[in-house]
Amino acid sequence: MKAFYFLIPLLMINACKTQTGTVTSTEKTATMGQLNERVTGCPEEGNCTVKIHKNMNLIIKEDGTGAIYPEMVAGKNTVVEYTYLKEGPEGTADGNYSETIHFEIPAAVENISKVNASLSDVKLLYGKHCFCKGEAGYYPISNGELSVSANNKTLTFNLNFEVEKTSQVISNISETVKL
C-alpha cells in the first residue's frame, strides 16, 4: 500500500509533461509586394511597412462585443496593409504603439478614386493598437480621399483621411510599391 502512495505523485508529474516534437502548419501565406526604399508619410519616430496580399479578399467581421476587425481570406482581389509602428521604451511591457490601414482593390482594376462615403466600397479600415483604454480597435474610415493606380509592376496609392472617433498619428499616406 505504501508503494501505491509513492507512485501517485510520479503519475501526476508524468501526466503533466508537455508533448515534444515537430509541429507543422498548413497555413497559406499570401504573396507580398516589396517595399520601396523610402516610405513617404511615415513619422520619423516610427517605422512603416506596406504589404500587398494578392489573391485575397478583405472581410470585416464583428466580435461578440460589437467591435469590428479585418480578416483576409483567399479570393481574387488584392488587399493592401499599411502599418506604422513606434516601439515603446525598453523595459515596458505595453509601450508599443501601432496603426494599420487595410483596404481591398478589386481584381482587374487599374485606377480607383474614392471620396468620403464611397470609401466603404474598398472596405477602408483604420486600426489603432496600443495600451490606450477606450481608443484601441478598428474603425471604418468614411472621411477622406483614396486614389489607387496599378499596373503589372507597381501599385501607387495616395490616402488622406480622418478618423472621427479617436486620435491618430497617420493621416496622409503616399506610396509606390513594387509588385
Per-residue pLDDT of the chain (179 residues; tens, 9 = 90+): 555 555 565 555 555 544 444 333 333 334 444 444 444 679 988 999 999 999 999 999 999 999 999 999 999 999 999 999 999 988 888 899 999 999 999 988 899 999 999 999 999 999 999 999 889 999 999 999 999 999 989 999 999 999 999 999 999 999 999 98
User: What residue segments make up the domains of the chain, in order of their start?
Assistant: 30-178
CA atoms within 13 A on the CB side of 157: 31
pLDDT at position 10:
55
List beta partners, residue 102.
Answer: 81, 125
Taking CA 68 as the corner, what is the angle to CA 26 and CA 132, rounded to the nearest 5 degrees?
105
Separation CA 114–CA 155 (nearest Å): 16
Q: What is the DSSP letter of 123?
A: T
List beta partners, residue 56.
Answer: 74
The pTM score is: 0.77
Q: For residue 125, give the amino acid letter.
A: L
